Homo-oligomer: A and B are copies of this chain.
Amino acid sequence: MSNPDPKGRGWQGAKPMQLLVTLAVGCLLYFILPRVAPVPDAKLFAGTAAAKAKPGDKAAKPGEKVAKPADKPKPAEAKAAEPKAAASAKKPSAKELEVQRIEAEAKVKFEAAAKAKADAEAKVKAEADAKAKAEAEKVRQADWIRGLHLFAIFVATILGIILRPLPMGAVAMIGVGLTAITGTLPIGDSLSGFAEKTLWLIIVAFMFARGFIKTGLGTRIAYFFMRLLGKRTLGLAYGFAATEFVLAPVVPSNTARTAGIIMPIMRSLARAYGSNPEDGTARKIGAYLTMTCFNLDLIVSAMFLTAMAANPMTQKFAADFGITITWNSWFVAAIVPGLVGLLVIPYFFYKLYKPEITETPEAVEMATAKLKEMGRPSMSEWLMVAVFSFVLVLWVIGEKAFGIDGTTAALLGLALLLLTGVLTWKDVLEEHNAWDVLIWTGGLIMMAGFLNKLGMIPWFSKVVGASMAGHGWHFGFLVLAVTYFYAHYFFASMTAHAGAMYAAFLGVSITLGAPPMLAALVLCFFSNLHASMTHYGTGPAPAMFGLGYVPIGTWWRLGFMVSVVNILIWVVVGGAWWKVLHLW
């Protein structure tokens, strides 16, 4: 070939092995499951019947119409006979007795005729019912097959997100396509996830995050708290906690927040104190800050609906069960255990993983110098603060006070940022994270939603729930929640984990009798906290681990211990707080 592909940069398509495994598992499930899994009993698996009751009314009505007239006539005639009986009770003469007798006979005749008529109608009704039942059964069986097919595509998608033959978004896009290509769902349903309001809440939050980074406001806030609290190492850690807490509500990428804003500051600070992983000085201060900052990130991620990209996904999964978690109700439930966590974690590491340097007066100087260098906040930063505060207020009280939805409030904020030029439309279009999230969240939300609508998740919940019954929900739910938590050892992404397991575990919990809102929230919180154990559990983990301050064994050992502390805090403190909130 005289001219090799000028764009050739090696193979850019799917990684073959990973693709093969994903496709093999998907195809196997897709083709084998419907053969080996018989349609469950109608009590356990209702198919779309329940969901259809709303849009499908029309189909169900003819049957009802036949039924109603057949049921009603009886009381009508019974009533019609009453006044006569009452009237004839007055004067019982011979003639009248005769008349009464004949009338009574006539009545019997009428009633017999009416009964015959009713019986005939009942027969028609029974036939119609039987026919409708047979049709419903057909639909139910078809739903089961569709459900199994969708499950196969869903598993392959989640497996693809884990094995990554292609980036997560591409895998999800292909998964969405497959639901339509295989005819499992109509194309309109396949795309329905892309209009979800919580999804757009997170997309707009990504734009806010861009504003925080673009204007330098995020960095300024970090230095502000460093100057305020940074005299000692422990204070520094609390400064980072405060920064995370302030940024979290509008920075839904925990990678952008922790690896993007916090990490550079933390790293330069550690180096300024002569703590470098290369020369054995990691334990001076860098190792402590690494572990602390990483774990603080997870706690604040659990505290706000908008603090982590996958949170609205779990919120939507809960909504599929009829559980409405608003921005405000999430925040209120999480604030107490969350704040306790933010207080405990820095101290926990301070005791168990003590830094050699405990006094850090230079940090204050460094922060002061940096802030001076940054100068007074620009107009853009002030506008960012104003819009941010405004949206935050709306998120906290808007729903209850003015009926303004969280997404509506976010759109209002975005409009203000665009109108004032804090963000340009180019910024919005170039915020690729947001479009990535649109695709994968939209895809996963759609699939899990239809697994629910097709009756698969309710079926699974009933079957597993039945096998676990008998211990009361407290014990059962705790086992489920902790299992859900530690399953994260097998996941490299919070999204993949929540996508794969959240809906099923919530369903089983509810079947066991756990209060739905409590169960939904606990699983939402755990969907963030569970990432502490490994160095690959979520985006910032490999970034922070990659700094080299913390050896892998230490990371895992401390990670496990933190996980226990977190579970204790959220179960004990959280449990008490949720009792106060009447969540159980």
Contact = CB atoms under 8 A, between A and B. Distances in A.
B408 A378 contact: no
A425 B167 contact: yes
Nearest to A117: B76
B428 A430 contact: no
B414 A173 contact: yes
A118 to B, nearest CB: 8
Interface string A401-432: 00111011001101100111110111011101
A187 interface: yes
A411 B72 contact: no
B428 A2 contact: no
Interface stretch (A79-87, A223-231, A333-341, A475-483): A79-87
Given A103-B106, A106-B107, A429-B435, A177 B415 contact: yes
A169 interface: yes
Contact of A421 (B12, B77, B169): B12
Interface in A213-249: 214-216
Contacts of A378: 4-8
Contacts of A422: 13
Contacts of A426: 167, 432
Interface string A56-90: 01100100010011001100110111011000000
Contacts of A3: 373-376
Interface in A7-34: 7-8, 11-14, 19
Given A379-B5, A425-B166, A19 B411 contact: no
A180 interface: yes
A471 interface: no
A170 B180 CA distance: 31
A379 to B, nearest CB: 6
A2 B375 contact: yes
Contact of A55 (B55, B180, B181, B435): B55
A3 B220 CA distance: 14
A404 B191 CA distance: 15
Interface stretch (A192-200, A294-302, A567-575): A192-200
B215 A412 contact: no
Contact of A191 (B76, B195, B429): B195
Contacts of A57: 57-58, 61
Contact of A170 (B58, B196, B408, B425): B425
Contact of A69 (B72, B372, B373, B379): B72
A404 B181 contact: yes
Given A109-B84, A173-B415, A180-B407, A421 B7 contact: no
Nearest to A186: B405
A343 interface: no
Given A2-B375, A80-B113, A195-B192, A419 B14 contact: yes
A188 interface: yes
A233 B428 CA distance: 44
Given A57-B57, A195-B191, A180 B411 contact: yes
A200 B191 contact: yes
Interface string A157-201: 000000000110110011011101101001110111111110010
A164 B376 CA distance: 32
Interface in A427-480: 428-430, 432, 435-436
A564 interface: no
A94 interface: no
A1 interface: yes
A411 B405 CA distance: 32
Nearest to A23: B419
A421 B4 CA distance: 16
A324 B37 CA distance: 39
Given A173-B428, A177-B411, A429-B435, 10 more contacts: A14-B421, A57-B57, A69-B69, A80-B117, A102-B102, A166-B425, A190-B408, A191-B195, A194-B200, A425-B436
Interface of A: 1-8, 11-14, 19, 54-55, 57-58, 61, 65, 68-69, 72-73, 76-77, 79-81, 83-84, 99, 102-103, 106-107, 109-110, 113-114, 117, 166-167, 169-170, 173-174, 176-178, 180-181, 183, 186-188, 190-197, 200, 214-216, 372-376, 378-380, 403-405, 407-408, 411-412, 414-415, 418-422, 424-426, 428-430, 432, 435-436
Question: A-B pairs with the 7 shortest C-beta distances?
Answer: A3-B375, A13-B421, A12-B421, A177-B411, A5-B378, A195-B195, A80-B113
6 contacts: A11-B421, A13-B418, A76-B114, A99-B102, A102-B103, A169-B428
